[in-house]
Amino acid sequence: AASVLLGSMEIKESLFLLCSVWNHRTTASAKLEKTFKIMKSNHYPKILFTSFRCETCSQEEAKYRCPRCMKYSCSLLCVKKHKLALSCNGVRDKTAFVSVNDFTDLNLLSDYRFLEDVGRAADAAARHLTVHNPTAKKLLYGLRNKARKCDIDLRTLPVGFTKRRENSTTFNCTEKKFYWHLKLIFPHSHAEYTLKGVPDDKTLADILKPYIDPVESDPVVCQRLKIYTVSPQSDVQILMKIENRKQNSVRYYELDARRSLLDNLKGKVIIEYPTFFVVLKTLKNNMVILGQGKYLFPVLLYLDILVK
């Protein structure tokens, strides 16, 4: 509906300019003037979704189409229902894939405006005070240096990135201890939680207790993560994505819940702050653990042949 409206406005503006420039005594200008008057009076036919039914109630004729998921709706109530059911925010995805056959001038205009927005955001980030603030640079350098001494390859992103803005990790020089910004993702429950100020000497088991322990966890959190709380603790697996790998070769570290956060992060690359994926061994997931991929058996077989 938005695309149709935008197209109609563009036609109106174009016809208005043509009518004002051309000679009104010619036949062509007379026809254009007549067409413009019809469009201005809104007597031209409007395009409606007459051949589509509401995809929420399946009863009424559709009047709206969601820019995000392209679902048809008939009323405000059905729009709200579809957003709640599909977790849709109703905002058009400017980076969604469009095939060549479906690519139009409106898509080209959208891409152009998107690139302009990116350019403005990059320019604003470059002008941000923290970029040229020597104190902030010194703190980041000190944080990376302390992490390097602990055998942790901590890498920070430029100003303007979401993870850079979110990161609240600090190092206490008196206690000689990291207080990490940490993100926990529970894929089986579609939930994620952010923790701030987590000491590096705390074990992963203690970190997870307020979430998956049936006794110590909050009732609301316990209900949301029910699939974890009812499962045996031995089935819980903590994974961390390995950075700097190709997109078609994503692997994960398996972490030891009995060891401290610092011990689990040693020898690993961390971009801004750690993100842990809490999964269950009994449930299927697409996360391949390092050393347990599909190529592990052929390699071992080949090595066995070489030894023989």
First and final C-alpha spacing in the chain: 70
**pLDDT value at residue 301:** 37
Strand 252-255 versus strand 236-241 pairing type: antiparallel
Query: Phi and psi dihedrals of 158, rounded to 5?
Result: -65, 160
Band of residue 145 on the pLDDT scale cut at 50, 70, 90: very high
Summarize the confidence of residues 122-143 as an average pLDDT. Answer: 75
Q: Which residues lie closer than 8 Å to 43 by C-beta, 6 or more apart? A: none
Report d(CA 228, CA 214) in Å as an integer. 9
**Both tokens assigned to 154:** 């901590």
**What pTM, to 2 d.p., does this model score?**
0.56
- In this structure, how many other beta carbons lie within 10 angstroms of the beta carbon of residue 91? 9
How distant, in Å, are the alpha carbons of 93, 220, 234, 280 from that of 230? 37, 15, 12, 11
**Both tokens assigned to 118:** 């990116």
In the DSSP assignment, the letter for residue 141 is: H
pLDDT (tens digit per residue) in 183-238: 999 988 888 899 999 999 999 999 999 898 888 888 888 888 888 988 888 888 89
Summarize the confidence of residues 146-161 as an average pLDDT. Answer: 87
Identify which has the larger pLDDT, 224 or 42: 224
Task: With CA atoms as reference, report the closest residue to 236 among 200, 204, 274.
Answer: 204
H helix or E strand, kind and range, residue 166: helix 162-166
Q: Which residues lie closer than 8 Å to 184 by C-beta, 6 or more apart? A: 192, 193, 194, 195, 207, 208, 211, 276, 278
- Which conformational region is residue 164 in: left (phi greater than 0), alpha (psi within -120 to 50 degrees), or beta? alpha
Identify which has the larger pLDDT, 137 or 203: 203
Query: Phi and psi dihedrals of 32, rounded to 5?
Result: -65, -40
- Contact present, 122 and 128 (Cβ < 8 Å): no
Percent of the chain's residues with pLDDT above 70: 74
